[in-house]
Amino acid sequence: MPELPEVETVCRGIAPFVEGQKITRVIVRESRLRWPVVDNLENKLKNLKILQVARRGKYIILNSQKSALLIHLGMSGHVRILSKQESPKKHDHIDICFDNKKLLRYHDPRRFGAVLWQEDNRQQHFRLAHYGPEPLSRDFSVSWLHAKARKRQCAIKTLIMDNKIVVGVGNIYASEALFRAGIKPDSPASTLNEIQITRLIQSIQYTLKLAIKRGGTTLKDFLDMNGNPGYFSQSLNVYGRVNQPCYTCHSKIKHYKMQGRATYYCPSCQKR
DNA sequence: AGTGCGGCCTGTCCGC
DNA sequence: TGCGGACAGGCCGCAC
């Protein structure tokens, strides 16, 4: 399940192979993704040169001079760079071929992901219009988060997973960051004081940066573009560790469902 | 406007 | 061994 660190890992991995390359061919085998792939994607992309690979939240953005292609990996998606034409396997939905003979292959069994065409990249895609700050940017500040949190009654975990508040914090890293900050996942957002908000921001940033350094988290199906797993799963403190001892205090890690999402926490390290 | 929940998907796992 | 059902969860879109 790719979250921001996984997507960042993928962006860094594919950039050397696609930046500066011209698209020669596009094959769409399955256009029924989260949103239908735009008609005639091949004609739109053909002969475009990819100038830059960027990321916004969990979207990979391939920018050409005037337009952009946005790729979201959903839950189960990945992209890989292939050197030669390998026969496509099940769920290999889209190929983008470049003039350096490399091929970017989009694979997504659950089809929760998306490939979006943006004609004019001077403004952001409408799907990103409501996006809040990047968690690793200065815009994700104590004053921003505190101002948002004090008006909201929802659980703090729900708040930090809201893309309008901050992008790219998914279920795994939300649990991990709250553990690190010593904050209970179900604390009402409005009850957090400035010290806790500060600690939470630091924890989110620390957790995401460490995960990027480790090449992302591999639980079931995340592989980087070389097909290698990430190693952050070895650094998880609470996620998936139900009934196992907390590394800090040895209490049993607990979990429950919060709005349909598995939520893990340490009952003694996360008091308020 | 905030909140909560259903739906989209398929692979995997569990119990019968 | 087969089969149904639960689960995984990002994110939208709807209802209240």
Residue A142: strand, helix, or coil: helix
By the 10 Å C-beta count (0-12 exposed, 13-18 middle, 19+ buried), A90 is classed as exposed
pLDDT at site A218: 47
Distance A17 CA to C6 C1' (A): 41
Residues A50-63 as b/e (b if ≥16 CB within 10 A, e otherwise) read: bbebebbbbbbbbb
Lowest mean pLDDT among A68-77, A81-90, A198-207, A215-224: A215-224
Nucleotide nearest to A73 (CA to C1'): C10
Confidence class for position A28, pLDDT limits 50, 70, 90: very high
Q: How distant, in Å, are the alpha carbons of A154, A168, A176, A205, A250 from that of A130?
A: 19, 13, 25, 21, 41
Q: What is the mean pLDDT of residues A250-269?
A: 90
Distance A92 CA to C7 C1' (A): 24
Distance A260 CA to C4 C1' (A): 21
Question: Is A70:A116 a contact under the CB 8 Å cutoff?
Answer: yes
pLDDT at site A16: 93
> Residue type for A102, please?
K
Is any atom of strand B within 7 angstroms of residue A152's beta carbon?
yes
Confidence class for position A223, pLDDT limits 50, 70, 90: very low
Cα gap A117→A125, rounded to integer Å: 9
Residue A221: strand, helix, or coil: coil
Which of A44, A62, A34, A168 is closest to A121 using CA atoms? A62
Confidence class for position A45, pLDDT limits 50, 70, 90: very high
Cα gap A62→A69, rounded to integer Å: 5
- pLDDT beyond 70 at A217: no
Which residues neighbour strand C (beta carbon < 7 Å)? A 1, 3, 34, 57-58, 72, 74-76, 110, 112, 127, 161, 163, 170-172, 257, 260-262
Confidence class for position A222, pLDDT limits 50, 70, 90: very low
Question: Is A270:A179 a contact under the CB 8 Å cutoff?
Answer: yes
pLDDT at site A150: 92
Q: Which residues contact A260 (CB under 8 A, 6 or more apart)?
A: none
Confidence class for position A250, pLDDT limits 50, 70, 90: very high
Is any atom of strand B within 7 angstroms of residue A110's beta carbon?
yes
Quote the pTM value: 0.93
CA contacts within 13 A on the Cβ side of A241? 22
Catalytic residues of A: 2-3, 58, 261
Quick one: which H or E segment has residue A24? strand A23-28
pLDDT at site A216: 66
Q: Both tokens of residue A234?
A: 């070895």
